[in-house]
Amino acid sequence: MENENVEQQPRKNSNKIYFLVAVILALLGTNAYLFFKEKKSNERIVTISDEKSRMQTEIDKIEAELDNSNSANIKLSEEMQKEQDLARAKIAELRAALKKGQLNQGQLAKAQEDIKQLRYFVTKYTADIAELKQQNAALTTERNTLRTTVDSVSTKASDLEKVNEELNTKVKAAAALKVGNVSITPLRVKNSGKETDVSKANAAKKLRVNFSIVNNSIAEKGMHDIYMRIIDPSGNLLISDNGSMFMADDEELQYTYKTAVEFANDSKVYAIDWTNPSEFQKGTYTVILYADGYTMGRGTVNLR
């Protein structure tokens, strides 16, 4: 009996030892599991944190590219402006999401996909802006070329207009009537109406201006206005017929007398009579004839 009790005692002690070892091993295993689980969790948090930083950097780059695309002051179409507004709204949304605590894997994956789509849009948008710049540059070049062409054409047109004006002036001058010769006769008018030639100033009452017109094939045939200016010996213009004005040789002048003659390019001799409303003075009188805006010719007569 004593031997059986002695054998049972060591067996009970042995079982307790095994149990304690098992408990210790279980605790060690649990601690190891918890340690590795916590370590893995920390690594995941670190990984997510790093990914957030990377995404924030990527968003900064995308926004910078978007800003750079708009620095050329290109006028955007309504559609492109709308796309840009949507992109900036998405950037703001992503920034707000990344600022919220820790993202789970699902939120992180969605944010990554959004950034990927945003990157694609900005790349396409930048390419569209570059193409728009090229088109604007081409249009600017074309506009400048057209301006140069227009300026050149305008200059040529102006030059041609000037040449035409000069030619017209020359043609007009060439077509103007010119006097072949002029003779001026002082006349006395008797009570009977009979006219006689005189040479003294106190006897003269009127001047008769006889003149011929040089043949001119380009002069207009028909009636032409003739303006006559008479300058007395003192250098004064004798004015009658209300002293009206006319243009000749690019000047506005007063005339002494105005009439009209019919030109037929036939070497005809014409006569214009002018009666002095006052008395004639001794000295030389000058008669100047004008037609078609130019001087026709002149003559003088001396009264004693």
The mean predicted confidence, pLDDT, of the chain is: 80
**Of 76-90, 135-149, 170-184, the least confident:** 76-90
**Tens digits of residue pLDDT in 208-256:** 999 999 999 888 999 999 999 999 999 999 986 565 889 999 899 999 9
Residue 142 — pLDDT band, cuts 50, 70, 90?
confident
Higher-confidence residue of 92 and 276: namely 276
Higher-confidence residue of 214 and 15: namely 214
- What CATH number was assigned to the domain covering residues 179-303? 2.60.40.1930
- In whole angstroms, give the CA distance from residue 295 to residue 175: 12
Beta strands in the chain (DSSP E): 179-189, 195-197, 206-213, 222-231, 237-238, 245-248, 251-254, 257-263, 269-275, 283-291, 294-303
Reading the block at residue 42, the tokens are 């920390």
Domain map (residue ranges) of the chain: 2-134, 179-303
Phi, psi of 289 (to 5 degrees): -110, 145
Question: Residue 182: its pLDDT value, please?
Answer: 92
Contacts of 19 (CB under 8 A, 6+ apart): none
- In whole angstroms, give the CA distance from residue 188 to residue 207: 9
Question: Residue 84: its pLDDT value, please?
Answer: 77
Question: Residue 153: its pLDDT value, please?
Answer: 85
Question: Residue 43: its pLDDT value, please?
Answer: 42
Question: Residue 259: its pLDDT value, please?
Answer: 93
Percent of the chain with pLDDT over 90: 32
Checking if the pLDDT of 36 tops 70, the result is: no
